[in-house]
């Protein structure tokens, strides 16, 4: 890490459709360790938002507690952020989303924040299909408290102190498919080419989008014997497909070999274009997605890319039939029944 932010920017940075250059999407200087996978994911978020022409102030970023939960401060300084309490980001995001369905909600969490203390809220935000992007920066350990194993650490994985993890790990991607998440992807912080289109597709998804990103902890879990080290992950990554996110109205120019490509049409006319690498896997079929993840696990591989998507789903607002106008924009005249009505209510209570 550095404590001095270089002010130099390329003089001919390309502007997006809103007229913003990519640096407009940056946040405060990261205070994470040099080489932390989380910083790469933050860079991916910045890149995706820039390329998708998102107005930063129309996005709200939320997190819990932990190294990963610090990162919303390092992206999108023109967005409101909320660093809440440990494991409770999903509930805060749910309330925020209910208050205003006009914003994009980005939740960032870690493996401790999600798979341990926050498991209850994680499970239930999936059930409600809250329209948000939920990213887990997954390093298999508790970084801020100096490297204890987390619930996503693989059984038999060795941590920096040489201790072998005795317990079965929680596979967040499988779990979320099982629970009915409508967009589930897995990626690696070291693979920006894959991560950025996944973030873009996820931001565009009209329901709960989950990306589990393996993000090695350089300080406490990058040792030999750890299954979350850079070296190990690089050697064991297996992708479902190469992913491209094609925005609405864009002509598809990339061509893949016949029979191996798949276009998933999103609700707004955009596409996720996949060049399939995995056999017997259909991203629109929950069962085959589950099989693909489990088969990879059995082989000791980490399956990455888009795993499952259900583009035609109803989010929480649709299920609750809330007004199209954001609830936070309603005023007394919309909400208060008034004095005459109260007189009638009184009369009924006599």
Partner 1 sequence: MSLIDNKVNDFVVRFANVNGTGSASANFLFTKAIFRMGIPVTPKNIFPSNIQGLPTWYEVRISEKGYLGRREGIDLVVSVNPQSMLNDVASVRPGGYFLYDSSKKLHDQYIREDINYIGIPLMLMCNEAYTDPRQRQLFKNIIYVGALAALFEIEFAVLEELLGEQFKGKEKLIPANVKALKLGVDYIHANFKYPLDIRVERRDLIGDSIMIDGNSACGLGAVYAGATVAAWYPITPSTSVVEAFSSYAGEFRVDKITGKKNVAIVQAEDELAAIGMVIGANWNGARSFTATSGPGLSLMNEFLGLAYFAEIPTVLIDVQRTGPSTGMPTRTQQSDILEAAYASHGDTKHVLLFPSTPKECFDLTVDAFDLAEQLQTPVIMLTDLDLGMNDHVSPPFVWDDKREYNRGKVLDAAALDKIVKFGRYLDVDNDGITYRTYPGTHPSKGSFFTRGTSRDEYATYTEDGAAYQRNVDRLIKKWNTAKSIVPAPQLYQEQSQFANGILFFGTSQYAAEEAIDLLNQKQIFVDAIRIKSFPFNETVQDFINSHEKVFVIEQNRDAQMKSLLLIELGADPQKMISVLNYDGMPITADNIFKQITKNLSFSPEFKIKN
* Contact residue for partner 1 among 21, 33, 35, 85 (CB under 8 A): 85
* Contact residue for partner 1 among 44, 72, 143, 305 (CB under 8 A): 72
Output the smallest distance, CB 325 to partner 1, in A.
8
Q: Taking CB under 8 A as the rule, does residue 81 contact partner 1?
A: yes
**What number of other Cβ atoms are within 10 A of residue 304's Cβ?**
27
102's tokens: 């006009």
> Which residues, in sequence order, are CB contacts of 186 under 8 Å at separation 6+?
173, 211, 212, 213, 214, 293, 302, 303, 304, 305, 307
Contacts with partner 1 by CB under 8 A: the residue count is 61
Output the smallest distance, CB 339 to partner 1, in A.
4
Residues 86-125 that bind partner 1 (CB under 8 A): 88, 90-100, 102-103, 120-121, 123-124
Nearest CA-CA partner of 198 in 22, 41, 15 = 41
Which of residues 207 and 311 has its CB atom nearest to partner 1 in the complex? 207
Query: Reduced to 3 states, what is the DSSP secondary structure of residue 158?
Result: strand
Spatial distance between the Cα atoms of 167 and 266, rounded to a whole number of angstroms: 39
* Contact residue for partner 1 among 16, 21, 35, 83 (CB under 8 A): 83
276 neighbors 261 (Cβ within 8 angstroms): yes
Selected range binding partner 1 among 74-82, 136-144, 210-218, 258-266, rule: CB under 8 A: 74-82
* Contact residue for partner 1 among 36, 73, 184, 201 (CB under 8 A): 73
Output the smallest distance, CB 75 to partner 1, in A.
11
Tokens 């989303």, residue located: 97
Q: In the stretch 308-327, what mask flags binding to partner 1 with x, by CB under 8 A? A: --------xx--xxxxx--x
Alpha carbon dihedral 62, 64, 67, 68, in 10-degree steps, equals -50
CA distance between the termini of the chain: 71
Output the smallest distance, CB 138 to partner 1, in A.
22
Q: Taking CB under 8 A as the rule, does residue 53 contact partner 1?
A: no
The full DSSP string for 18-83 is TS--GGGGB-SPP-SPTT-HHHHHHHHHHHHHHHTT--GGGEEEEE-SSHHHHGGGGB-TTSEEEE
* Contact residue for partner 1 among 30, 40, 84, 204 (CB under 8 A): 84
Q: Taking CB under 8 A as the rule, does residue 337 contact partner 1?
A: yes
Which of residues 75 and 293 has its CB atom nearest to partner 1 in the complex? 75
Site of interaction with partner 1 (CB under 8 A): 28, 55-58, 60, 62, 72-73, 77-85, 88, 90-100, 102-103, 120-121, 123-124, 128, 316-317, 320-324, 327-328, 330-332, 334-339, 341-342, 345-346, 349-350
């Amino acid at each position: 890490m550095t404590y001095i932010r270089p002010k130099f920017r390329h003089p001919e940075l390309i502007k997006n459709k809103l007229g913003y250059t990519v640096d407009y999407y940056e946040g405060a200087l990261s205070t994470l360790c040099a080489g932390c996978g989380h910083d790469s994911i933050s860079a991916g978020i910045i890149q995706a938002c820039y390329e998708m022409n998102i107005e930063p102030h129309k996005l709200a970023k939320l997190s819990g507690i932990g190294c990963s939960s610090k990162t919303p401060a390092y992206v999108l300084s023109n967005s409101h952020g909320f660093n809440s309490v440990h494991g409770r980001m999903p509930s805060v995001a749910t309330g925020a989303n209910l208050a205003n369905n006009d914003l994009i909600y980005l939740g960032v969490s870690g493996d401790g924040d999600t798979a341990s203390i926050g498991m209850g809220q994680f499970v239930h935000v999936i059930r409600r299909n809250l329209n948000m992007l939920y990213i887990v920066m997954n390093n298999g350990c508790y970084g801020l408290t100096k490297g204890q194993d987390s619930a996503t650490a693989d059984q038999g994985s060795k941590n920096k102190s040489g201790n072998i993890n005795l317990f079965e790990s929680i596979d967040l991607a499988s779990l979320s498919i099982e629970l009915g998440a409508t967009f589930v992807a897995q990626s690696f912080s070291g693979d920006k080419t894959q991560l950025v289109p996944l973030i873009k597709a996820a931001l565009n998804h009209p329901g709960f989008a989950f990306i589990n990103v393996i993000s090695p902890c350089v300080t406490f879990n990058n040792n030999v014997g750890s299954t979350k080290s850079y070296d190990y992950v690089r050697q064991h990554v297996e992708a479902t497909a190469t992913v491209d996110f094609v925005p609405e109205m864009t002509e598809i120019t990339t061509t893949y070999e016949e029979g191996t490509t798949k276009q998933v049409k999103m609700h707004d006319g955009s596409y996720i274009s996949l060049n399939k690498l995995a056999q017997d896997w259909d991203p629109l079929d929950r069962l085959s997605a589950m099989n693909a993840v489990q088969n990879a696990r059995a082989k000791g591989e980490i399956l990455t890319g888009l795993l499952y998507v259900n583009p035609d789903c109803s989010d929480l607002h649709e299920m609750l039939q809330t007004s199209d106008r954001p609830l936070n924009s309603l005023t007394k005249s919309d909400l208060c029944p008034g004095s005459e009505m109260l007189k009638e209510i009184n009369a009924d209570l006599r």
